[in-house]
Amino acid sequence: MSALSQAEAPRTNISGFLLIAAGSVVAAVLLILAVPYYAGTSARIASLYTNVAGPADRLLAADISAYGVNRSRNLAAAKLDLSNEVKAETAFDNQLGTVTFPAAADPHADDLTAADAKRIKLIELQLKAPSLRKLRAFDSRVEAASAAVDAQVKIMRADLGLPAVSGGLY
């Protein structure tokens, strides 16, 4: 009995070591995989940004183009284009708020949202215009607001390593 216990004792200890070693090998593999995963964080954040900006840009490009046509001949259609523009910009701002940017980019995201909010407010004022002439009178102010948004977008995209865009897009 004693000899059996002595023979079994080392084997039991080895099984204990093997169990803990197996767990540690799994943990080590996961930690090794975590390093390149973590290194890809900035690319994933850039991807989050483009996932938000892409659909908003497509809607905005269509609305801006349609407004360019309607602004001189159809007040109702022009107002509908501007209203759609406001919706797309508001949706972009809301979705941008759900992304947690790195410390360097985070204040720039806030600046971008603030610039966009000013443009939205201006377009909402423009929507109250009673005539095409008065509607077009806002265009220069909206363009100036868009230029401010463009400047913030440029900074934001530079932070995220993305190519620049223009024309009021994100």
Structural contact between residues 152 and 112, judged by C-beta atoms closer than 8 angstroms? yes
* Least distance in angstroms from the C-beta of 15 to another protein: 4
Angstrom distance (rounded) from CA 131 to CA 121: 19
Figure out which of the listed residues 65, 72, 94, 166 binds another protein, where binding follows CB under 8 A: 94
Collapsing DSSP to helix, strand or coil, 13 comes out as helix
State which of positions 97-156 bind another protein (CB under 8 A).
Answer: 97-101
In this complex, which beta carbon is closest to another protein, that of residue 68 or of residue 107? 107
Q: Residue holding tokens 């197996």?
A: 22
State which of positions 10-49 bind another protein (CB under 8 A).
Answer: 12-13, 15-17, 19-21, 23-28, 30-31, 34, 37-38, 40-45, 48
Collapsing DSSP to helix, strand or coil, 86 comes out as helix
Q: Residue holding tokens 């024309």?
A: 167
Question: What token pair was written down for 71?
Answer: 């602004």
Site residues for another protein per CB under 8 A: 12-13, 15-17, 19-21, 23-28, 30-31, 34, 37-38, 40-45, 48, 51-52, 94-95, 97-101
